[in-house]
Chains A and B, each alone.
Chain A
Amino acid sequence: MSEANEKSPIERVRTARHPDRPYTNDLLRSIFTDFVEIHGDRRYADDPAMVCGFAKLGENEVCVIGQQKGRDTKARQMRNFGMPKPEGYRKALRVMRLAEKFGRPIICFIDTPGAYPGIDAEERGQAEAIAFNLREMAGMKVPIIVVVLGEGGSGGALAIGIGDRVLMMENAVYSVISPEGCAAILWKDAAKADLAAAALKLTADRLSQFGLIDGIVPEKEEWNVDGEEADLGERFTSVADKLSKTLLENLKELKTKTGDQLVQERYKKFRAMGRWSGNS
């Protein structure tokens, strides 16, 4: 086990948010080849917080969807800190539909603080955009693999998260609300984020115990790198290799299933999520 395992929940939250962690675009350059980005939701705009396109993973033609944060101030603004607007979710769905049409698997990378909470996003139906993706992904007749790369921020993350396999990087977090938001509401003090992070059980190991994710991709310190974006690909080779291998294994397995089989098993998986009292 790597030393990252000793991290406290709030440390993992900070690691998950660290700007030197690899983003969707880094993976597109390292583990995928021949990536071509496609743009726009055909309704309103193109959302740079959501990157979509076609790529090759080994011999496989796949569709890649991923939230993208920015590494420097300028990029962060351009990417809206990785917070998609309705057009981002609608673009993602449009591209997933293309994948379905041409029988290509879908790979989604989750890395967002959450869907953008703004006037324009509300006006254009942020809630509807997320909700519609949840329903449509559930019925998608091609394999879907989801990887929580860094921050899995609530409904804005889940909107690209309904997959046949949901994997998490060892240091990623996935939560119903940010620890700060939770602390502000329940503790009436955003500074209690460390307590909230622990209480929310938002780390990969705990979520795996609750049956909410299917696997954890082990990390090494190489993920926490500093330096030029250009060298990043080389620096996290070791973990990128592991992720790539995991994706390929899962893909191989899922490709043997029919579309209907995928939909049925996907439903079964999400159907089983939850813990309550009373008969089951």
Chain B
Amino acid sequence: MAWFKRDKPKIETVSDDEERTVNTSGIFVKCPECENPLYRRELIESHQVCTHCNYHFRFPSRDRLEDLFDDGKYEKLDEEVTSADPLEFVDTKPYKDRIEQAKQSSGLPEAIVSGSGKVGGHLVYAGAMDMSFIGGSMGSAVGEKITRLIERALEKKGAVIVFSASGGARMQEGTLSLMQMGKISAALSMLHEAKLPFISVLTDPTTGGVTASFAMLGDVILAEPKALIGFAGPRVIEQTIRQKLPKGFQRSEFLLEHGMVDMVVDRREMKDTIVRMLDFMMGCS
């Protein structure tokens, strides 16, 4: 698997965010939830889910697609569509540099990778977002890649599946990022009219403009356990209402309880669940 081959030197100071992805440099990995040691091998086999407490580590986007498509085989799509710097945005660092850095450290061309292939025999166009590329944020390139997935599905009568993992719209592309919400949702309107399936899978975390557009527009919406899912981030809400948030607020199980998602699905059962959905929507193949 792609993440296994990573040969980057290990960083000594591990931030809160990094702890959630599997550290691949040692033989053992400590689960941040139950603190049990896990064999690296064991984790690969369990799709990076803790075998003791079912904690879901963040899952790299390429592995997602490999896991989804039959025999792990799919055709990569639109790898050449990458972020530009239309606003010539500079904060404490130029956006151009951030893009380059993200490409280097993640080994990905963009915050989403996409591909086409068969899932349970059904024709599927799928995308998987990746937190390791500028927080999985959605700029013009992400919007374009998802829109193209939808347009291809429309043309070839396929299904669309998107795994979300994103902090929301990408600030460095300003209003252009915001409009990607409209662009993708408009494409989904056509997919809906054409009676073709869209399955949205929410993974940790899915917030902001991604949640408030395509991620919540699935015919069915599946969520991985305990993923943070919301419109506003917890910190913004706390600052607004000036009180602590209840435990479990904005987690997958909370959304299920409030009728906002269809199922909370363990990653190891994700593919079977998706195939079951596609069978219903597209007929057994």
Binding site for B on A (CB under 8 A): 115, 117-119, 121-128, 130-132, 134-136, 138-139, 154-155, 158-159, 161-162, 174-177, 181-182, 185-188, 195-196, 199-202, 207, 210, 212, 266-267, 270-271, 273-279
Q: C-beta contact mask, B205-222 vs A, less than 8 Å → 1, else 0?
A: 000110111111100000
Binding site for A on B (CB under 8 A): 78, 80-84, 86-87, 89-92, 139-141, 143-144, 147, 169-183, 185-190, 192-193, 208-209, 211-217, 230-232, 236-237, 240-241, 245-246, 249-250, 258-260
| Chain B residues within an 8 Å CB radius of A273 | 140, 143, 176, 179-180, 182-183
Is B171 in contact with A186, judged by CB distance below 8 angstroms?
yes
Is B212 in contact with A119, judged by CB distance below 8 angstroms?
no
| Chain A residues within an 8 Å CB radius of B180 | 273-274
A136/B181 contact (C-beta < 8 A), A176-B175, A177-B171, A276-B81 known = no
A123/B258 contact (C-beta < 8 A), A199-B90, A207-B175, A270-B186 known = yes
A-B contact count (CB 8 A): 200
| Chain A residues within an 8 Å CB radius of B190 | 139, 267
A199/B87 contact (C-beta < 8 A), A158-B178, A270-B179 known = yes
Which partner residue on chain B sits nearest A264 by CB separation?
B190
Assuming A115-B231, A199-B89, A274-B139, what are 6 further A-B pairs, CB within 8 angstroms?
A124-B258, A127-B215, A138-B186, A155-B231, A176-B174, A270-B186
Complex Cα gap A130–B211 (Å): 9
Is B185 in contact with A131, judged by CB distance below 8 angstroms?
yes
A131/B232 contact (C-beta < 8 A), A117-B240, A125-B260, A176-B177 known = no
Complex Cα gap A187–B175 (Å): 19
Is B258 in contact with A212, judged by CB distance below 8 angstroms?
no
| Chain B residues within an 8 Å CB radius of A159 | 212
Could you list some 9 contacts between A and B, CB below 8 A? A117-B232, A125-B216, A131-B185, A131-B216, A177-B171, A187-B92, A270-B186, A273-B140, A278-B81
Shortest Cβ distance from residue A93 to the other chain B in the assembled complex, whole angstroms: 13
Is A277 in contact with B174, judged by CB distance below 8 angstroms?
no
Is B143 in contact with A274, judged by CB distance below 8 angstroms?
yes
Q: CB < 8 Å: which of A134, A176, A181 contacts B213?
A: A134
